[in-house]
Amino acid sequence: FMIFTLGLDSQFAMMETVISGLSDVFPYYLRKHKTLFTFVTCMIGFLLGIPQVCKGGIYVLTLMDWYSGSYNLMIVSLCELVAVCYVYGVNNFRRDIEMMLGGFPNVFWVYWYVTWCFITPVAIVFIVIMSGITYAPAYYTKYEGVYTFPDFAEGLGWLMVVSPLALIVGGMIVQSIRYGGVAKALKAQPDWGPALDENRIGRYSPRDEPDFSKDEPAGATNMGYMGEKGRPYVVNDKNGYDHRL
């Protein structure tokens, strides 16, 4: 029973990550049909999991476990750290957290600055390098001996490694084209900030509100926050973002 509840809790966390992420990217379409979207997402995950409980499913599970959380997970984590600490700016991220949770002593932030900006990136790079040096093809140990996966299975495994990284590169290219260059794509949008009006104070306060009655419906901005239709928010220059380019 404990294993069942532990697995169920893990599924909640993983599915909520997928659902929230896609809803932030396509809020105008998915948030209006959240129940249906959640059901479809869970059904897709259920159907994709069926091969792992069939005869020979242990081989599928071993292959996925071997490759799906290896290099790609480390590189994605490194990209997130670089994006938050060195592109968006660790000080901006600190102000966002303090806006949501309140102020913290400076000693508290020293630990996180050192961890986010130095220790964790260096540790991730070290892990990736050591994993490459000690790499071995996937295998499964059973009673009859050790089963080594064929070449096509290894190819599928490396496809699982490359796919998330390809999405990151593809997203960077699309955003660079959309905003007219890499430098502009790396900057926070003018409407970046809390979604609710009552939370837009201080550095998030709107400076002016021109008439944009012909604007398109609101969409997701950098991190999923949305500006209301016809009310683009402009960051106050005196309390603006500390862009790190």
- Residues paired with residue 145 on neighbouring β-strands, in sequence order: 142
CA distance 42 to 202: 40
Is 10 among the annotated ligand-binding positions?
yes
Is 215 among the annotated ligand-binding positions?
no
In whole angstroms, what separates CA 199 from the centre of its chain? 24
Token pair recorded at residue 245: 């380019």
Token pair recorded at residue 178: 């959309």
Is 242 among the annotated ligand-binding positions?
no
The CA radius of gyration of the chain, in Å to the nearest whole number, is 22
Binding-site sequence positions for Na(+): 6, 9-10
Annotated binding-site residue numbers: 6, 9-10
